[in-house]
């Protein structure tokens, strides 16, 4: 189930352009518009869930399966040696788009970035 005005539902539907990095039956992944590091991408369920507490178990498994495919591919493409998986829940924890999503942030040794 999607929501009409949700930003990430609209990206999944193709109403707002995105740089797709992966797609399957349950999951869509695309580059973050304001990357913390080169190759920073977002992995979202195609259905709308506000946060990690709302998401259907089958779909969270699909999202994690996608993360396990996407992260190595992103590291290979960017030359990264490691990555963060970050997931924010609710405004107090920094969530700004209320369609649950996982950030994959590639890292290189000595890149100097502090998260
Ligand atoms: P949050 O802060 O909710 O964990 O993460 C939301 C992320 O969505 C941010 O990293 C932000 O840069 C990204 N974002 C916000 N609007 C857009 C957009 O229109 N397109 C893309 N590709 N990313 C977006
Ligand atoms: Zn949504």
Give the model confidence (pLDDT) of 28-75 as tens digits.
999 999 999 999 999 999 999 999 999 999 999 999 999 999 999 999
pTM, to two decimals: 0.96
Q: What pLDDT was estimated at residue 112? A: 83
For 18, which DSSP code? -
Query: Which atom of ligand 1 is nearest to 16's Cα?
Result: 19
* Residue 69 maps to a domain: yes
Domain span at 28: 7-107
Could you give the residue ranges of the DSSP H alpha helices within 17-94?
Answer: 57-78
- Alpha-carbon dihedral 22, 25, 26, 32, rounded to 10 degrees: 20
Tell whether ligand 1 has an atom less than 6 A from the beta carbon of residue 94: yes
| Residue 86 CA to ligand 1 centre (angstroms) | 12
- What is each CA distance from 55 to 16, 22, 32, 76, 104, in whole angstroms? 23, 20, 21, 30, 19
Provide the pLDDT confidence category of residue 115 given band limits of 50, 70 and 90.
low
**Catalytic: 101?**
yes
**What domain count does the chain have?**
1
Instruction: Please report, for the domain that includes residue 51, its CATH number.
Output: 3.30.428.10
């Amino acid at each position: 189930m999607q929501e009409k005005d949700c930003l990430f539902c609209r990206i999944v539907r193709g109403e707002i352009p995105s740089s797709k990095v992966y797609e399957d039956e349950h999951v869509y992944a695309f580059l973050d518009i304001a990357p913390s590091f080169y190759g920073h991408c977002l992995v979202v369920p195609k259905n709308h869930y506000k946060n990690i507490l709302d998401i259907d178990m089958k779909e969270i498994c699909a999202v994690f399966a996608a993360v396990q495919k996407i992260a190595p591919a992103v590291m290979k493409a960017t030359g990264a040696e490691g990555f963060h998986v970050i997931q924010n829940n609710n405004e107090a924890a920094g969530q700004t788009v209320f369609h649950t999503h996982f950030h994959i942030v590639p890292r290189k040794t000595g890149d100097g970035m502090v998260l």
